[in-house]
Amino acid sequence: MMNLSRRGVVTGVGAATIARSRSAKAAGNLQIWWGLGFYQQEDQALKDQVAAFERQFGIKVDLQIITGADLITKFIAAQQVGDVPDIVQVNTGGAFLQPQASWDDRVLEISDVLAGHENEFLPAALSSCRYYNRATRKYGYYAVPIKCGAMMEEIWRPMLEEVGFSIDSIPKTQDAFYDFFQTVQDRLRSKGRRIFGLGYSMATKEGDSNTLFNAFLNAYGGAGIVTPDGALHVDDDKVRKAAMTALERLTSPYKKGYVPPGAINWGDADNNNAFYAKQIVMTPNATISIAVAQMEKKDQYYRDIVTTGIPLANDGSPVPGILGTVSAFIPKAAKNIDNAKSFLRFFIEPARLNGYLKEIRGRFLPVMPSALKDDPYWLDPTDPHRPIAAKYGLLQPTIAPWQTFTPAYAQVISEQVWPAAEANITQKGMTPEQAAELAISRIAAIFEKYPMG
């Protein structure tokens, strides 16, 4: 167990600052900032690994566990004053933080930490740690993969059964899949039940709205919006059509009342909360956090909550999932680089990393596919959620997120360009075509600020 008297564990910027001032800061102490888990087992698993590292290496660690949004804000401020931690890990860092920090030459290139493990990582996960540095004018590995996940769909089975459906009733292709839940809502409403069919995240803040839009853009043929060389392709008719279709398909159900009105203000945990409150029949989610947080409730975990993968494309072809990888990095201005590298090498030892991911209940998937072969935990047929997540995240084709190719798309995410386009439709009366053209124009302007090569 951790000794909290010498290690600050906090959940906000103000509290984190206070905790840090009280933490031991002797030369040689390793400063780690880590994103707060969704449930306490996630935080405890990290504490256990930190304690094991301290015992093995004799290095004291100042660990701060901070809510994701606050951690990003705090790190940006720390960069400005030159007082950064030695290691940073935050679930949304790959979207909001790391591409830009690597571009600005503020993150350490750590190929040497990955040495010997390169072939063990899932290719899309390893690609997600490869960023462009404008100072060196080349790509490099600026993080180590820790965990990953792909888009899932979480569904209340009892709500379907209440109106005469089963899980097998759900169509397999994109539009038919989501339209089905509108039908479920109609039937529930006819019985006096005020429940919404679709739990779409549509706020212009945090990460879930961007993740959902990108998944829809990909499903409608827009995967080529950014290619691995960092080039933008919004002039491609296929990409433009995919963007317009994604906007229409996300906003039309909202305007028709099939998505909760408050979804335009949801934070990243709010679709989970709406699901638990049984306000929605289903919700897309980037991990199986909804199910695993309810593991003690056996009926809910093993029967009532159903996890499915993303639908097929409308033509029936498989859609490669966008693999979201959570990684850890070392700021270039860190004071304890050697110890930071030692910790990351220690943490990504295959057996240790697999044990950590199991301790956090399998919410995230292994970034090393060998775990599926070596440990029956991940494909356990008695578990209704993990094997589904593993299938869609590790066994079927996936692609790396576009922001790993260029920090320009990370700025698109940070500016909430696509969620803002949704808001232009739902709140300002624009057509999907108008909103898409405005978004595309802004994205093109952003990309001009990031010349590569």
According to CATH, the superfamily of the domain at 4-149+323-399 is: Periplasmic binding protein-like II (3.40.190.10)
Asked whether 147 and 326 are in contact (CB, 8 A), the reply is yes
CATH architecture of the domain formed by 152-322+415-447? 3-Layer(aba) Sandwich (3.40)
What is the pLDDT, as a whole number, of residue 27?
47
What is the pLDDT, as a whole number, of residue 50?
98
pLDDT in tens, 82-109: 899 999 999 989 888 999 999 999 999 9
- What does the mean pLDDT of the chain come to? 92
Please compute the mean of the pLDDT values over residues 146-160 and round it to a whole number. 97
**HSE value, Cβ hemisphere, 13 Å, CA-based, for 441:** 7
- The pair of three-digit structure tokens given for residue 166, joined into one six-digit string: 């089963």
Residues 6+ apart with CB under 8 A from 218: 319, 320, 322, 399
Of 113, 117, 140, 115, nearest to 129 by C-alpha is 140
pLDDT in tens, 335-364: 999 999 999 999 999 999 999 999 999 999
Cα(327)–Cα(323) distance, rounded to whole angstroms?
12
Residue 258 pLDDT grade (very low, low, confident, very high; cuts 50, 70, 90) = very high
What is the pTM (predicted TM-score) of this model?
0.91
What is the pLDDT, as a whole number, of residue 452?
87
pLDDT at 244 over 80: yes
Burial string for 390-424 (b: 16+ CB within 10 Å, else e) reads bbbbbeeebbbbbbbbbbbbbbbbbebbbbbbbbb
Residues 6+ apart with CB under 8 A from 150: 286, 309, 310, 321, 322, 323, 324, 365, 389, 392, 393, 398
φ, ψ of residue 343 in degrees (nearest 5): -65, -45
pLDDT at 139 over 60: yes
Asked whether 179 and 398 are in contact (CB, 8 A), the reply is no
Residue 270 pLDDT grade (very low, low, confident, very high; cuts 50, 70, 90) = very high
pLDDT at 8 over 70: no
Cα(307)–Cα(388) distance, rounded to whole angstroms?
7
Burial degree of 207 (CB within 10 A; 0-12, 13-18, 19+): buried
If DSSP codes are grouped into helix, strand and coil, which group holds residue 253? Answer: helix
Say yes or no: do domains 4-149+323-399 and 152-322+415-447 share a fold: yes
The residues spanned by each domain of the chain are 4-149+323-399, 152-322+415-447
More confident residue, 184 or 3: 184
Please compute the mean of the pLDDT values over residues 264-274 and round it to a whole number. 95
Cα(280)–Cα(274) distance, rounded to whole angstroms?
6
Place of tokens 């930071």: 340
